[in-house]
Chain A
Amino acid sequence: GESVGLHLPTLSVQEGDNSIINCAYSNSASDYFIWYKQESGKGPQFIIDIRSNMDKRQGQRVTVLLNKTVKHLSLQIAATQPGDSAVYFCAESGAGGTSYGKLTFGQGTILTVHP
């Protein structure tokens, strides 16, 4: 399959379970964080974002948690569905909005949802 040889972190869940995908970042000056979903053969698709002045933000079935103390970001997906199967990327940006869209991406996590 597509994931063979990629050696990305993987997460396998059953349909209906909750999923948690984790991301560590290194730049303490980062003030914007974003999660993308990338399905096979497609471009990254925006899921949810959060600024550093918040520690939690909720969307539809998704929640992003930010822990600036340990430089950790997580994406929680409630009631995971087979259509959620994809590679998930976290990305960060810094410098108070002057980065001009220069996102630094994490390595990606492969989420597989079993029916």
Chain B
Amino acid sequence: DTAVSQTPKYLVTQMGNDKSIKCEQNLGHDTMYWYKQDSKKFLKIMFSYNNKELIINETVPNRFSPKSPDKAHLNLHINSLELGDSAVYFCASSQQGGEKLFFGSGTQLSVL
């Protein structure tokens, strides 16, 4: 009965590869997000989607492409992975763009 679930939990890959992270929420929320947490624990928004529409794109490189097939899912595809992409990526959701976000448990991406 996890509210926001993302897979995989860990992702280790080589530079130049393409990878995807999946996220699903069962809270009935309209709005979903991707946040990135760097090695210093700093959390920063990457994208937000409301009812499958892109609302926020925080100048993320276009190697990162979010896709929302429906309002309960928001996936993140990353092309041509770089060393600097290593981080923990968190999916989150909220009701109608509200600021009280519910976060998933994160995907730790390591690019070698």
Contact = CB atoms under 8 A, between A and B. Distances in A.
A is bound by B: yes
A22 B94 CA distance: 25
Interface stretch (A10-18, A70-78, A93-101): A93-101
A7 B43 contact: no
A25 interface: no
Nearest to A51: B99
Q: Which bucket holds chain B's interface residue count?
A: 20 to 34
Contacts of B58: 102
Interface string A25-40: 0000000101010100
Interface of B: 4, 31, 33, 40-45, 48, 50, 55-56, 58, 90, 92, 94, 97-106
Interface of A: 6-8, 32, 34, 36, 38, 41-46, 49, 87, 89, 91, 93, 97-103, 105, 107-108
Given A42-B106, A43-B103, A108-B41, 20 more contacts: A6-B41, A32-B99, A34-B99, A41-B106, A43-B90, A43-B104, A43-B105, A91-B43, A93-B99, A97-B98, A99-B99, A100-B50, A100-B56, A101-B48, A101-B92, A101-B94, A102-B56, A103-B99, A105-B42, A105-B43
